[in-house]
């Protein structure tokens, strides 16, 4: 860690932070965009106190507060290393590339920072070398993607300092070639790797170990917690202070992370890597076991095909994918699953034997081949153990289910309640933890998020948005709408959205809770709209957003992934239209298991879980609209239940204080359009 001069004891952190944010303080002098904001100061002082005294602070900071500076300044001034975890890579990059350099200049402190992402973001030098030599052996018959992007990566690899694929903006998100050459944990040889000392992941970790500010995302935070729990070491260096930004996403990420899963695609990968390792082994002594191992790969591939295609077919015809509920049909596939686990055991044993044979017979400088075989053997063994755990469906703390997405068929188990995991593993290890987001409260209270994250004793602070919603926004709730379950609902949504889009002259997000509703409304509206239409799914998310920003009067139709983490400032986004209250689908196995668990405790799952979860999602969706003091716009919630049902009041009480109208005429006036 670098030598940051800590705040002298006599001054105290709270005083130092207060001075930093003063009207004539260093931030005001150095940052051209700086404006004194009461909410930002209150949050910064509360963070300073939490760092001084230890414990957990939950701070909800409404949009425009400047919360990043409100936690970074006290963290840096404390002189202790801080770990910042974000929900998205975008925010990670923004903190690292913009906020940290600005703060370094403003405070005049030479603190250091490192941005750490998940391993799959980095190039694996060893796999890349292997891939190229395989292509060389095969005479370079490349598919069209590889023919374009392999030279791009070849040109970049020797020059990059970080090995982070974010430097190659032109690389498609789902490029199969990247999957083959990235530094995934499954395929890493660790300290046995011949390229270990130059490895981008190794170097990133070394830099992080010497940094004052380490910026990660929630996936990596959870990966680190899991590794520490299993006593395998650490992914992130120890940091006594943790800031969890975009904390409303932590429960979902922890649920994903602390689950277990086996998929057909992961087994395909294993088969490919096993074959490559064996091909390398055949040209050298010790290849006697190669034939067996090769047969082992075939057995795994054949059993996996039978097992996963059987499950996918059963899923189509039998409905519920929760395995405990679906015991009857799942039982038909148990034996095939156990056969696959047996085949994985077999592959593990033969790869390990082949590696051991080579270790005895092959020259020492050829150790990488054995290491590859050993890594494949380890993966096969881990997969067999995971598969047996999944087939048993025995741990009541997990929900077991089948997930079919495109070509991927995955058997998964997810923890039903992550509160203990978050409390013990993520925040429990720290001296001070700050949990922050623009949306943490429901009806002004922190109870829901405290319970979900197991942080009932946290101190809380809620700082309202800096924006004047009474002046900048109008909340439109249509007077007459059918209920969402009625057939004519889609028609009514299309009509209302069409009217609103004419008032706002496009410049809008229309957000849906499902692809099906989105497609149905787009189909009806697109032919009659005079504005450029962008639809989620027709291009990558980042391309659609860039297109939206630069296309005058564009309208973007999208679903859940655009409800949060999207920032469009200015007139370009002047309306956010929401088709339905975003209740999580009770058909989702994790949601269903959580509802059942709460019902078993005698609680009303609807009141205690489904409504608060939907309120936070709605707040996020509507939060896309006003990103700056000068932004103006209309929020429209077309679902009539927000007015007609008792729980609707809870939604309205949690929304920003915008004036409400039921009248399209007022919307027209808001946009300065002539009346019809």
Site residues for ligand SF4 per CB under 6 A: 124-127, 183, 188-189, 193, 195-196, 199, 201-202
Q: Give me 261's structure tokens.
A: 């899963």
- Two tokens, residue 480: 């007459």
Name the minimum Å distance from CB 119 to ligand SF4.
7
CB of 124 to ligand SF4, least distance (A): 3
CB 99 to ligand SF4: min, Å: 29
Place of tokens 């295609």: 309
Query: Residue 352 CB, nearest distance to ligand SF4 (Å)?
Result: 19
Dihedral angle sign, alpha carbons of residues 74, 77, 81, 86: positive
Residue 266 or 643 having the CB closest to ligand SF4: 266
CB 123 to ligand SF4: min, Å: 8
Question: Using an 8 Å Cβ cutoff, are 214 and 82 in contact?
Answer: yes
Tokens of 418: 């992550």
Determine how many CB atoms are found less than 10 A away from the CB of residue 586: 14
Secondary element (H or E) of residue 85: strand 82-86
Which C-beta is closer to ligand SF4: that of 114 or that of 202?
202
User: What DSSP state is assigned to residue 423?
Assistant: I
The whole-angstrom separation of Cα 546 and Cα 527 is 23
Phi then psi dihedrals of residue 408, to 5 deg: -90, 125
- CB nearer ligand SF4, residue 351 or residue 573: 351
Q: Which is nearer to ligand SF4, 154 or 456 (CB)?
A: 154
Minimal distance in Å, beta carbon 129 to ligand SF4? Answer: 9
Query: Is 659 within 8 Å of 474 (Cβ atoms)?
Result: yes
Nearer to ligand SF4, 277 or 460 (CB): 277
Q: Which is nearer to ligand SF4, 183 or 520 (CB)?
A: 183
Least distance (Å) from ligand SF4 to the CB of residue 183? 4
Beta bridge partners of 61: 463
Least distance to ligand SF4 from the beta carbon of 128, Å? 8
Cβ proximity to ligand SF4: between 366 and 443 the closer is 366
CB of 230 to ligand SF4, least distance (A): 19
Asked if residues 65 and 467 have their Cβ atoms less than 8 Å apart, the reply is: no
Nearest to ligand SF4 of 199, 625 (CB atom): 199
Minimum CB separation of residue 112 from ligand SF4 in Å reads 23
Please work out, in degrees rounded to the nearest 5, the angle formed at the alpha carbon of residue 637 by the alpha carbons of 634 and 638.
120
Residue pair 580/639 in contact by the 8 Å Cβ criterion: yes
Q: Can you tell me whether residue 479 is helix, strand or coil? A: coil
- The two beta strands, 408-415 and 398-405, are antiparallel
Q: Which is nearer to ligand SF4, 219 or 412 (CB)?
A: 219
Please give the backbone phi and psi of residue 592, each rounded to the nearest 5 degrees, phi first.
Answer: -60, -40
Q: In degrees, to the nearest 5, what angle opens at C-alpha 40 toward C-alphas 36 and 43?
A: 150
Contact 48, 526 (CB under 8 A): no
Judged by beta carbon, residue 195 or residue 299, the one nearer ligand SF4 is 195
The secondary structure of residue 528, as a DSSP letter, is G
Three-state DSSP at 530 gives coil
Q: Are 69 and 44 in contact (CB under 8 A)?
A: yes
Strand, coil or helix: what is 298? helix
């Amino acid at each position: 860690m670098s030598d940051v001069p800590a705040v002298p004891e006599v001054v105290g952190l709270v005083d130092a932070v207060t001075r930093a944010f003063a009207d004539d303080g260093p931030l005001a002098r150095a940052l051209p965009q700086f404006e004194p904001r009461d909410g930002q100061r209150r949050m910064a002082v509360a963070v300073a106190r939490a760092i001084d005294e230890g414990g957990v602070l939950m701070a909800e900071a409404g949009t425009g507060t400047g919360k990043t500076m409100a936690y970074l300044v006290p963290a840096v001034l404390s002189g202790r290393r801080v770990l910042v975890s974000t929900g998205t890579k975008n925010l990670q990059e923004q903190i690292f590339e913009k906020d940290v350099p600005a703060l370094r200049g403003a405070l005049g402190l030479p603190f250091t920072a490192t941005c750490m992402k998940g391993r799959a973001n980095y190039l694996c030098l060893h796999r890349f070398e292997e891939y190229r030599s395989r292509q060389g052996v095969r005479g370079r018959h490349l598919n069209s993607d590889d023919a374009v992007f392999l030279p791009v990566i070849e040109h970049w690899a020797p020059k990059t300092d970080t090995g982070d694929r974010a430097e190659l903006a032109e690389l498609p998100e789902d490029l199969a070639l990247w999957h083959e050459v990235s530094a995934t944990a499954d395929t890493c040889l660790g300290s046995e790797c011949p390229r270990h000392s130059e490895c981008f992941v190794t170097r990133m970790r070394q830099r992080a170990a010497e940094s004052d500010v380490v910026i990660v995302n929630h996936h990596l935070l959870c990966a680190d917690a899991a590794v520490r729990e299993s006593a395998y070491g650490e992914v992130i260096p120890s940091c006594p202070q943790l800031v969890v930004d975009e904390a409303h996403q932590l429960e979902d990420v922890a649920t994903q992370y602390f689950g277990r899963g086996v998929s057909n695609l992961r087994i395909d990968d294993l088969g490919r890597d096993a074959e490559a390792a064996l091909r390398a082994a055949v040209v050298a002594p010790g290849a006697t076991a190669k034939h067996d191992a090769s047969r082992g790969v075939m057995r795994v591939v054949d059993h996996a095909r039978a097992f996963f295609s059987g499950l996918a077919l059963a899923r189509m015809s039998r409905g519920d994918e929760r395995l405990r509920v679906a015991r009857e049909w799942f039982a038909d596939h148990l034996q095939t699953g156990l056969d696959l686990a047996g085949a994985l055991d077999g592959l593990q044993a033969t790869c390990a034997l082949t590696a051991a044979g080579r270790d005895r017979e092959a020259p020492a400088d050829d150790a990488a081949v054995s290491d590859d075989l050993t890594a494949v053997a380890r993966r096969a063994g881990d997969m067999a153990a995971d598969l047996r755990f999944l087939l048993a469906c025995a741990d009541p703390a997990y929900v077991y289910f089948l997930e079919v997405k495109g070509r991927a068929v995955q058997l998964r188990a997810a923890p039903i309640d992550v509160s203990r995991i978050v409390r013990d593993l993520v925040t429990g290890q720290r001296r001070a933890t700050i949990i922050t987001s623009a949306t943490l409260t429901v009806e002004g209270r922190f109870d829901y998020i405290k319970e979900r994250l197991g942080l009932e004793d946290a101190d809380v602070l809620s700082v309202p948005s800096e924006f004047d919603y009474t002046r900048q926004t109008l909340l439109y709730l249509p007077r007459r709408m059918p209920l969402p379950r009625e057939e004519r609902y889609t028609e009514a949504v299309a009509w209302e959205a069409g009217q609103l889009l004419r008032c706002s002259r496009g410049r809008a997000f229309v957000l849906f809770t499902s692809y099906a509703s989105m497609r149905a409304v787009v189909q009806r509206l697109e032919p009659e709209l005079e504005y450029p239409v962008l639809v989620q799914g027709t291009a990558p998310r980042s391309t659609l957003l860039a297109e939206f920003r630069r296309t005058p009067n564009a309208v973007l139709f999208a679903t859940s992934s655009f409800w949060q983490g999207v920032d469009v400032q200015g007139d370009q986004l002047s309306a956010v239209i929401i088709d339905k209250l975003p209740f999580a689908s009770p058909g989702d196995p994790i949601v269903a298991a959580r509802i059942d668990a709460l019902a078993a405790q005698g609680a009303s799952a609807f009141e205690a879980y489904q409504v608060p979860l939907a309120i936070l999602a709605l707040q996020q969706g509507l939060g896309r609209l006003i990103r700056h003091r000068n932004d103006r716009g209309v929020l429209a919630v077309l679902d009539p239940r927000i007015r007609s049902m008792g729980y609707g009041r809870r939604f309205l009480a949690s929304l920003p204080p915008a004036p409400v109208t039921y009248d399209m005429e007022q919307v027209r006036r808001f946009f300065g359009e002539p009346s019809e």
